[in-house]
Chain A
Amino acid sequence: MTTKEFKRNDGRKPMELRPIKAKVGVVPNADGSAMYQSGDTIAIAAVYGPKQMHPQHSQNPEKGTLRCTYIMNSFSVSERAKMGPNRRSQEISKITEWALEPVLMLKDYPSQVIDVHVNIIQADGGTRCAGINAASMALAHAGIPMKSLVTSVSCGKLDKTLVLDINGYEDSKFDEGEGSTDIPISVTKDGSLTHMQLDGKISVDQLKEAVQAAREACKEIYDVQKEALKKSVGGEK
């Protein structure tokens, strides 16, 4: 251990992820579904379609549409959250669409829509990343052609230290020194970014370092996603 090792509230090392669990096929009625859990954050994603887009005026005859709906269930946080979409969930729905769209071949589905419903049933930081991870697995499970799986992790800066997979406390309550900055990053298998968000202050060098750390961490998460998909076939390696 190095001397200037940063202490995190749950005892993790800065570059350590929370325990991950993933499962495919959790919603029997959906065309594809998946659950992704990172520590105390649990996301469930269900994919319906490709199906005909309704209402008709929303159809795009040139390419298909990806429609994501991110919902944080009222019981997912300790203080009961108000039901229904709000400004935050609308933004994250859009972000999820943008993170997943680059790997899909939407041109093959003119006038059609792929519906992705992401439900956060327990929230403890990094919910949008858990949602994207679950959604990506669910899309693959629904048999939709894609160039790669999408893997997402939230990188963070606590005071001056870079950390991975920040939890609820670190996201909202941490206030030592420079406070906390959350940087959710999504990458494909070959390391190309499909989504990155940042609000807060960080130097260019440190941001580059954060992206690199996220890429490394995503390899670990990717393996979990891959295993979960392969396990769902049953009896096979």
Chain B
Amino acid sequence: MTNESASRKVIVPGEVIVKGKEYLPGEGTEKKGEEIVAMRFGLVEEVDRIVKVIPLSGVYQPRRGNVVIGKVEMVTFNGWVLNIGAADTGFLSLMEVPRFVNKDAMDEVMSIGDMVVAKIWAINQRGIDLSLKQKGLGVIDEGMIMKINSNKVPRVIGKEGSMIKLIKDETGCNITVGQNGLIWVQGKNVEDELFAKRAILFVEEKSYLHGLTDELTKWFKENKK
């Protein structure tokens, strides 16, 4: 089997991916004797002897350092509770907002229903701690939000951001992709935003394809007026 086709294989839990001492188990796999066995449903990827499974579906698994888009669910006395689409809710503390906040009027900064771009800075037993202390983070005031499966996010971003750059250039929209699958599209008018949305949905649908960036370039040629 060539390396090319091996890296594209779909695998189900319990299936043996490769046999041999030289391989190491990566994410979503387990070692049973000399065999590397899959523990998740997804695509196989081999990088330098490490075999891992890229999941195709499932709920968002939060990681430290992820930039996510969340919805304010509750305002407490010292922060905000955000729904970020994970099993746990995220907590954005007052201390992590890099501006002056009047404690008596916290919902003037963020109130229930607001969408916020935030970063996960810690995950512990108590929950997920979010922060706004970075460039590009904050409350969303215009544009539209769309949702895709969080496992397709790497494909939408592409290798070193190639895919998302292509979409941005072609549609003229500003796009922020949250790792949890929520995407903020902001363009000059609604038509541009809807066009960008269609492009992203195209990428999500065809995410199993090789050379998707070229495929998308073709799609843009066909669909652009």
Q: How far is the CA of A110 from the CA of B58 in the complex (A)?
A: 17
Q: Which of B37, B41, B87, B89 contacts A143 (CB under 8 A)?
A: B41
Q: How far is the CA of A234 from the CA of B206 in the complex (A)?
A: 9
- Asked if B179 is at the interface of the complex by the 8 Å CB criterion, the answer is no
- Asked if B201 is at the interface of the complex by the 8 Å CB criterion, the answer is no
- Asked if B34 is at the interface of the complex by the 8 Å CB criterion, the answer is no
Instruction: Flag if B58 contacts A146 (CB, 8 Å).
Output: no
- Asked if A121 is at the interface of the complex by the 8 Å CB criterion, the answer is no
Which residues of A lie under 8 Å from residue B145 when comparing CB positions?
A: none
Which residues of B lie under 8 Å from residue A230 when comparing CB positions?
A: 10, 12
- Asked if A112 is at the interface of the complex by the 8 Å CB criterion, the answer is yes
Instruction: Flag if A229 contacts B41 (CB, 8 Å).
Output: yes
Instruction: Flag if A145 contacts B14 (CB, 8 Å).
Output: no
Number of interchain pairs (Cβ within 8 Å): 81
- Asked if B96 is at the interface of the complex by the 8 Å CB criterion, the answer is no
Query: Which residue of B has the minimal Cβ distance to A105?
Result: B39
Query: Which residue of A has the minimal Cβ distance to B56?
Result: A233
Instruction: Flag if B41 contacts A140 (CB, 8 Å).
Output: yes
Instruction: Flag if A144 contacts B58 (CB, 8 Å).
Output: yes
Chain B residues touching A, majority SS? loop
Q: How far is the CA of A144 from the CA of B40 in the complex (A)?
A: 6
Number of B residues, CB within 8 Å of A? 26
Q: Which of A51, A142, A226 contacts B15 (CB under 8 A)?
A: A226
- Asked if A49 is at the interface of the complex by the 8 Å CB criterion, the answer is yes
Instruction: Flag if A143 contacts B208 (CB, 8 Å).
Output: no
Nearest Cβ distance between residue A50 and chain B, in whole angstroms? 5
Which residues of A lie under 8 Å from residue B30 when comparing CB positions?
A: 147
- Asked if B57 is at the interface of the complex by the 8 Å CB criterion, the answer is yes
Which residues of A lie under 8 Å from residue B209 when comparing CB positions?
A: 235
Query: Which residue of B has the minimal Cβ distance to A50?
Result: B87
Residue-wise, chain B 43-63 has the 8 Å CB interface mask toward A (1 for contact) of: 100000000000111110000
Instruction: Flag if A236 contacts B208 (CB, 8 Å).
Output: yes
Which residues of B lie under 8 Å from residue A32 when comparing CB positions?
A: 57-58
Residue-wise, chain A 7-27 has the 8 Å CB interface mask toward B (1 for contact) of: 000000000000000000000
Q: Which of B13, B88, B208 contacts A146 (CB under 8 A)?
A: B13
- Asked if B70 is at the interface of the complex by the 8 Å CB criterion, the answer is no
Query: Which residue of B has the minimal Cβ distance to A190?
Result: B14
Given contacts A50-B59, A51-B59, A143-B57, contact A233 B10 (CB under 8 A): yes
Nearest Cβ distance between residue B128 and chain A, in whole angstroms? 12
Which residues of A lie under 8 Å from residue B43 when comparing CB positions?
A: 233
Within 8 A of B (CB), among A85-108: 103, 105
Nearest Cβ distance between residue A142 and chain B, in whole angstroms? 5
Q: Which of A52, A141, A148, A229 contacts B87 (CB under 8 A)?
A: A52
Instruction: Flag if A146 contacts B39 (CB, 8 Å).
Output: yes
Which residues of B lie under 8 Å from residue A181 when comparing CB positions?
A: none
Instruction: Flag if A145 contacts B13 (CB, 8 Å).
Output: yes
- Asked if B42 is at the interface of the complex by the 8 Å CB criterion, the answer is yes
The 6 closest A-B pairs by CB, nearest first: A143-B58, A148-B14, A189-B14, A140-B41, A146-B13, A145-B39
